[in-house]
């Protein structure tokens, strides 16, 4: 099913993200984890894609498996920054042949060593090519705290509007740990004329070290309430996991209470985390 249709049909959605392995060696372990998540029957599952395109085959294979064998709608991520237009066309043809209808169109991070191919500069250019390639439902990424390369949020929202106008059917947000940041962002993008559904991306932080890496990469703001949890439980894996799931659950309940009812959880191939969050929300997301 196209996600644009799903968002019209269902008042609230809960979806999970998985990431494919870089090589076929690790494929079976990841496949098993994604299958366990698929058995929970989320509204859809997104499957990430390596920025360099190296894991594109494993990414397509995981997406195809959850659709064919578990009936779960996949959202296949696709990055363009290191790809040729020809490679993108071939990949889209493969996805289409296998019944995949939803693509999250991304630029990808620019590698530290620079680019060897330069056929795409921005996700908006990829969106135009996806539209030309077939009848896909297309999503884009958005950043409630601004993208790290943007001069300021106003400029980021201007480019986001251009991206949506090129053909985004919906947006998924970068993770955030303070819901007020999302509420302010939604107000600003609606004012700027961006009216597509916005899926809120929530990351349950289940290990103390993970959060240091996340903050370094994305510059995400951490509220004191969250920092206190990591300070207190960061060195105790089982306590951190319980607290991280509780924090994410609390965030989602507040979002739903305030009318943000499409929630995407960055479950990072962890079926137990996905299952616990789903159980915590069983009455809330009805
Ligand atoms: P763009 O929308 O192209 O924006 C990139 C930057 O360029 C922004 O600063 C924007 O303001 C600016 N910009 C846009 N258009 C213009 C223009 N015309 N002129 C000047 N500046 C412009 N990465 C992966 O490698 N694999 C994944 O699977 C993946 N999944 C993700 C899922 C989500 C929900 C999110 C939020 C991010 C994901 N990423 C993934 C990370 C993403 O690839 C990076 O954040 C990347 O740096 C930007 O990608 P984008 O599609 O947002 O880029």
Q: How far apart are CA 72 and CA 18, in angstroms?
A: 13
Asked if 17 contacts 45 with a C-beta cutoff of 8 angstroms, the reply is yes
More confident residue, 220 or 52: 220
Model pLDDT, residue 27:
93
For the CA of 48, the nearest atom of ligand 1: 28
pLDDT of 213 above 90: no
For the CA of 150, the nearest atom of ligand 1: 9
Residue 86: burial class (beta carbons within 10 Å; 0-12, 13-18, 19+) = exposed
pLDDT of 20 above 70: yes
pLDDT of 216 above 90: no
Asked if 142 contacts 173 with a C-beta cutoff of 8 angstroms, the reply is yes
What separation in Å is there between the alpha carbon of 47 and the centre of ligand 1? 16
For 121-176, the pLDDT digits (tens) are 999 999 999 999 989 999 999 999 999 999 999 999 999 999 999 999 999 999 99
Model pLDDT, residue 273:
98
**Residue of 14, 2, 4, 3 whose CA lies nearest to 284:** 14
**Residue of 58, 141, 132 whose CA lies nearest to 106:** 141
Model pLDDT, residue 274:
98
- Which residues are known to be catalytic? 17
Asked if 14 contacts 285 with a C-beta cutoff of 8 angstroms, the reply is yes
Ligand 1 lining (C-beta closer than 6 Å): 48-49, 51, 77, 79, 104, 106-109, 122-124, 141, 147, 149-150, 156, 159, 163, 172, 174, 201
In the chain, pLDDT over 90 holds for what percent of residues?
A: 87
Beta bridge pairs of residue 69: none
pLDDT of 217 above 90: no
For 112-133, the pLDDT digits (tens) are 888 888 999 999 999 999 999 9
Q: What is the DSSP string of 217-231?
A: HH-----HHHHHHHH
Domains of the chain: 3-280 (3.20.20.220)
Pocket test for ligand 1, best of 91, 122, 189, 214 (most atoms within 8 A of CB): 122
Model pLDDT, residue 56:
84
For 251-274, the pLDDT digits (tens) are 999 999 999 999 999 999 999 999
pLDDT of 53 above 80: no
Strands (DSSP E) along the chain, which ranges? 13-18, 45-47, 74-79, 102-106, 137-142, 170-173, 198-202, 262-265
Q: How far apart are CA 13 and CA 199, in angstroms?
A: 9
What separation in Å is there between the alpha carbon of 119 and the centre of ligand 1? 15
What separation in Å is there between the alpha carbon of 231 and the centre of ligand 1? 31
For 18-27, 194-203, 238-247, which range has the lowest pLDDT when averaged over its residues? 18-27
Q: What is the mean pLDDT of residues 7-36?
A: 95
For 63-106, the pLDDT digits (tens) are 999 999 999 999 999 999 999 999 999 999 999 999 999 999 99
What separation in Å is there between the alpha carbon of 123 and the centre of ligand 1? 6
Q: Place 211 in a pLDDT band, splitting at 50, 70 and 90.
A: confident
């Amino acid at each position: 099913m196209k996600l644009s249709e799903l968002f019209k049909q269902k008042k609230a959605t809960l979806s999970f993200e998985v990431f494919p392995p870089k090589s076929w060696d690790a494929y079976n372990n990841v496949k098993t984890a994604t299958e366990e998540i698929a058995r929970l029957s989320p509204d859809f599952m997104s499957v990430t894609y390596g920025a360099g395109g190296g894991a594109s085959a494993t990414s397509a294979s995981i997406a195809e498996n959850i659709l064919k064998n578990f009936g779960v709608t996949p959202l296949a991520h696709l990055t363009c920054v290191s790809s040729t237009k020809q490679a993108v066309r071939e990949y889209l043809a493969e996805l289409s042949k296998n019944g995949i209808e939803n693509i999250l169109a991304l630029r990808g991070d620019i590698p530290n060593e620079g680019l060897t191919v330069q056929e795409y500069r921005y996700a908006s250019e990829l969106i135009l090519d996806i539209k030309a390639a077939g009848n896909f439902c297309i999503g884009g990424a958005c950043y409630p705290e601004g993208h790290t390369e943007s001069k300021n949020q106003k400029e980021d929202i201007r480019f986001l509007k251009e991206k949506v106008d090129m053909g985004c059917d919906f947006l998924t947000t970068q993770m955030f740990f303070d819901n007020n940041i999302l509420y302010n962002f939604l107000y600003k993008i609606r004012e700027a004329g961006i009216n597509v559904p916005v899926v809120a991306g929530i990351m349950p932080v289940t290990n103390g070290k993970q959060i240091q890496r996340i903050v370094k990469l994305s510059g995400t703001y951490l509220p004191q309430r969250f920092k206190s949890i990591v300070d207190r439980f960061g060195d105790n894996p089982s306590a951190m996991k319980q607290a991280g799931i509780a924090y994410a659950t609390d965030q989602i309940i507040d979002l739903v209470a305030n009318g943000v009812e499409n929630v995407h959880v960055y479950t990072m191939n962890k079926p137990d985390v996905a299952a616990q969050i789903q159980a915590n929300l069983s009455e809330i997301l009805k």
